[in-house]
């Protein structure tokens, strides 16, 4: 986070001062010297939930910090003004000089409050985001259920589409057989068509996911990328599902009788 020295100095001498992120200042048109009224779930000692702060300047923060949409106020004013949970904090953020010592530092911090009324739980930003998501429920089960349902629907819909495609091209397949195309060759052509369509769709889906997932870093603080193993697994599954969905339509084309297909044409 980058804060101009004059803004820090103004905050130091203004008890009700507030530093506003540049994103919020641009969004609402706030300028230094203005008073900012806010409503909060935190009650003041007079029972009111209305807070008023003096804008003393702006600060810049990258989106991954999570403070690009925030207002920073003085702790001494906030502590003395609020009604409940005084002299407590929900979270402290530490920046380590050596990230490899993260686990060791976390254990030492938690040891300071062990067996106390307010035990701490120190974890990385990534672990915190993951635990917040896990609190919504068994995400692994939810995701796998959704994926399984989507795969089943994809399998059925693709098979139905290919079956309809074979019915619509019955005469064309019969002509190919008349020209000397073997049953196995036509069978392989239908399977290859299904595999090609599936691979193209999978490639487009994975390409879109590789572009969309990094955007979650802005909202969750997680730099999510797609490993090569997932990409490889996706293409393998695409081939398997393409073969499963095309086996019945291709078998129908394999057993096609030329005389019956061209009758009356």
pLDDT in tens, 18-49: 898 888 888 888 888 889 888 888 888 888 88
In terms of domains, do 70 and 115 share one? no
For the chain, the domain total comes to 3
Check pLDDT > 60 for residue 50.
Answer: yes
Residue 223 has pLDDT above 60, yes or no: no
pTM of the entire structure? Answer: 0.43
10 and 59 housed in the same domain: yes
Instruction: Judge if 189 and 228 occupy the same domain.
Output: yes
* 114 in the same domain as 147: no
Residues 150 and 256 in one domain: yes
Residue by residue, DSSP assigns 15-57 as TTEEEEEHHHHHHHT--TT-EEEEE-SSPBTTS--EEEEEEEE
- For residues 121 and 150, state if they share a domain: no
**Same domain flag for 68 and 174:** no
Q: Say if residue 210's pLDDT is above 70.
A: yes
Q: In this model, does residue 7 exceed pLDDT 80?
A: yes
Residue 211 belongs to what domain range?
A: 139-262
- Statement to judge: residues 15 and 110 lie in one domain: no
* Pairing label, strands 17-21, 50-59: parallel
Radius of gyration of the chain (CA): 31
Residue 180, pLDDT > 70, answer yes
Residue 164 clears pLDDT 80, i.e. is over it: no
Does 128 lie in the same domain as 154? Answer: no
Task: Inform me whether the pLDDT recorded for 147 exceeds 70.
Answer: yes
Both 45 and 104 in one domain: the answer is no
Mean pLDDT of 236-252: 77
* Residues 127 and 229 reside in one and the same domain: no
pLDDT tens per residue, range 92-145: 888 888 878 888 888 888 888 888 888 888 887 777 766 666 665 566 677 777
Q: Do 76 and 106 fall into the same domain?
A: no
Question: Residue 245 — pLDDT band, cuts 50, 70, 90?
Answer: confident
Say if 24 falls within a structural domain. yes
């Amino acid at each position: 986070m980058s804060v101009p020295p004059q803004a820090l100095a103004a905050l130091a001498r203004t008890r009700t001062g507030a530093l506003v992120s540049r994103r919020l200042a641009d969004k609402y048109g706030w300028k230094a010297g203005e008073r900012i009224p806010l409503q909060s779930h935190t009650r003041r000692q007079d029972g009111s939930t209305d807070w008023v702060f003096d804008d003393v300047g702006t600060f810049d923060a990258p989106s991954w910090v999570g403070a690009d949409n925030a207002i920073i106020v003085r702790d001494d004013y906030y502590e003395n003004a609020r009604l409940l949970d005084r002299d407590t904090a929900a979270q402290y953020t530490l920046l380590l000089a050596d990230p490899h010592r993260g686990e060791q530092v976390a254990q030492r911090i938690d040891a300071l409050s062990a067996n106390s009324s307010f035990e701490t739980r120190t974890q990385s930003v990534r672990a915190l985001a993951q635990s917040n998501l896990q609190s919504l429920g068994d995400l692994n089960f939810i995701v796998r259920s959704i994926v399984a349902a989507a795969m089943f629907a994809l399998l059925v819909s693709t098979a139905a589409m290919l079956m309809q495609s074979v019915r619509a091209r019955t005469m064309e397949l019969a002509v190919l057989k008349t020209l000397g195309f073997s049953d196995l060759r036509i069978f392989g052509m239908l399977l290859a068509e299904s595999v090609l369509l599936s691979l193209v769709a999978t490639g487009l889906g994975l390409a879109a996911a590789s572009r969309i997932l990094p955007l979650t870093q802005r909202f969750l603080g997680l730099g999510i990328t797609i490993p090569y193993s997932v990409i490889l697994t996706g293409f393998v599954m695409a081939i398997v599902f393409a073969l499963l969905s095309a086996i019945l339509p291709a078998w129908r084309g394999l057993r096609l009788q030329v005389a019956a297909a061209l009758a009356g044409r």
